[in-house]
Structure 1
Amino acid sequence: MSTAWESLHKSLDTSIRTRAFHLRFLTAQRQHEPLRAFATARALIALLSKGAPSDEKNRLLAALVVMVQFPANAEQQDLASTLLWLALWSGLDAQYRHLQRYVHEPDELASLIGAAFTYAVRELQVTSDTLVAVTLVMNTRRRVVQKEKTQRKRAQIIDYLQDLAHGEDEDEALARIAGTPGPEEDDAQALAARLRAVCGEDAALLISIAVLGERQHEAALRLGISHAGAHLRYKRALEAARKYFSKKS
C-alpha cells in the first residue's frame, strides 16, 4: 500500500501527461515568455529536476512562483504549482525522508510538508538574489519542524492540565514538562497567542510558568506584577485552560 507521499508524486506525474494539462501549458506559454522554450511541460520538468542549479533554472523557478502568487486564473495557478512540486520533488523527497525521524506517521508528514510547501511558495519574496529551489525546500523544512515542535509542546500542555484535573501533584506534572527541551521563542509566542483567547492577558503568565518552567515569583518579577497577584492570575488561567483543553481532548 502506497503512502500519501508516494500517491502525491504519482498523481502529479500523471497529471502533466494528460492532454488537458498540455493545453493549459500552451495557454500559459502565450502569457509567460520563459515557458515558450519548451515544447511540453515534461520537457520543462526534465530541465528543472536534473543537474546542478543554474541561473536559467532559477529564472524559470522564479517565473513559476510568480505564476502561483499572481495567477491569471485558478487553472494557471494549479499548473504552476504542479510544475514547482515536480521540479523540486527530489529536494522535498529528501526532506520527507529526513523528517521521518521527527514525524513518525507518514500521512501526517505528507500533509505537513504539503501545507508548508504551499505556504513557502505563496510567501516567497522573489528578488534577483533569491535562490528559489534552496529557499523553498529549506523554508518548507523549517516550517514543518516548527509546526511539529509547537504540536508536541501543545500536547505536553494538554497532558499537564489533564494530569492536574485528575489530581496529580502540580510540581510533579510541571517537572515532566520542564525536563523536556523547551520551545523556541517563536513557538512559545504562538502558543501564547492561541491561549490568549482562552486566558486573556494571563496567557503570558501561564506560558511563563507552565511551559518555560519559571517559578511564580520569577514570572511575577519579570512581568511587573506582585507575587500574590501572579498566584491568583496563574490559578485562574490554569483553570480556564484546563477546562478548554478537557473539551478538546
Structure 2
Amino acid sequence: MSFSWPGIREGLARTSTTFQFHQCFRALRRREDVLRSFRDQAALLDALNRTSGDPEHKNRILTALVRSAQRDGPEADCALTLLLLALWPGLDAVMRRARVRRLGTPDELASEILARATEAARSLDLQRVSRIAATLVMNIERDLGRAMRRESDRQHLHGEVDPDWIVAAPSWAAQGQMRTELHGDLTTLIGRDTDLVLGSALDGFSQLEMAQRLGVGEAAARKRYQRATARITQDI
C-alpha cells in the first residue's frame, strides 16, 4: 500500500470532522476532565497547535489523549487521531530529517512514521514519562532510524550473497549431534568450564546470567571464562 505523507494528514483531518468522530469526542470529554472546556475537536486541536498557551496544560491534555488511546473501542481511535494531529508539527519535522538522511523513500518513511507513532502512543508508560510530546517524537525518530538502518543493512547483505552458496540449515537432530560433539571436545580441553563457555559464546547468555545458572559469583565466572577461552586459543 502506498502512503503519501500529505495524504495521511488530510485523511486524519477528514476523519476528525465526521459525525461519528464528534460523538466519540463528546464521550472523551465526559471521561477526561481536562477536555471538558473544549466545545469540539477543532477547538482542542487549535489550542494544542498554538505556539502560545500553558505548556503544562497542553501536556495534561496530551496525557489524557494517550491514556484514552490505550483503551479499547472507538474512543481510543478518536484519541489516537487527535494525538497524531496534535503531534503533526513534530512528526513532520521527523519526516523532513529522515528524507534528508535518505532513510527510505517518501512512501516508506510515511508508513513507518505513522506505524511507529501509533505503536509509541499505545505503548507509552505514563508512569515514567513527564513530557509527552517530546518523548513521543524523540522515540519515534530514534526507532525509525534504527529500523530503516537494519532494513538497509539486511538488503545490502542479501544483495552480496550468491544464492548458489546458500545451503539449507542442518536439521534439529543434526544440530543436536554437533552440539554433543562440540561439548565433548571442549570438555576434554577445558573441563568444567565447558557449559560456561558454550552458554556465553554460543547461546547468547551474559556472563552474569551464566554465573547465576552455575551458582558462582560474576567475577569468578568472568575469570573462568577468560582462562578457558585463552586455553582454547592456545590449542587452536
5 Å-filtered alignment, 1:25-104, equals 25-52=25-52, 54-69=55-70, 71=71, 73-100=72-99, 101-104=101-104
1:109 aligns with 2:112: no
Tell which structure's C-alpha radius of gyration is larger: 2
1:1-249 alignment runs, 5 A limit: 4-52=4-52, 54-69=55-70, 71=71, 73-100=72-99, 101-127=101-127, 130-162=130-162, 165=165, 224=229, 226=232
Task: Report the alpha carbon displacement of residue 104 of structure 1 after superposing the two structures with TM.
Answer: 3.7
Measure the CA separation in 1 of the matches of 2:227 and 2:164: 25
1:91 and 1:164 map into 2 onto residues whose CA distance is 46
Structure 1 residue 30: Cα displacement: 1.5
Return 5+ residue gaps in structure 2 as ranges. 167-200, 205-225
Percent identity, aligned pairs only, is 33
Where does structure 1 lack aligned partners over 5 or more consecutive residues?
167-200, 205-220, 231-249
Provide the C-alpha distance between the structure 2 equivalents of 1:29 and 1:119, rounded to a whole number of angstroms.
24
Partners of 2:103 and 2:149 within 8 A in 1: no
Which whole-Å deviations, capped at 9, do the CAs of 1:146-176 have from their partners, x for residues lacking one?
A: 101111221232233337839xxxxxxxxxx
**d(CA) in 2 for partners of 1:159, 1:227:** 34
Query: Taking structure 1 as the reference length, what is the TM-score of the superposition?
Result: 0.63
Partner deviation per Cα, 1:81-139 (whole Å, 9 max, x = no partner): 00000001011001101101322411100111112111211222224861111111111
Q: How many residues align?
A: 178
Question: Contact 2:129–2:135 at 8 Å: present in 1 too?
Answer: no
2:3–2:108 contact (8 Å) kept in structure 1 = no
What TM-score, normalized by structure 2, do the two folds share?
Answer: 0.66
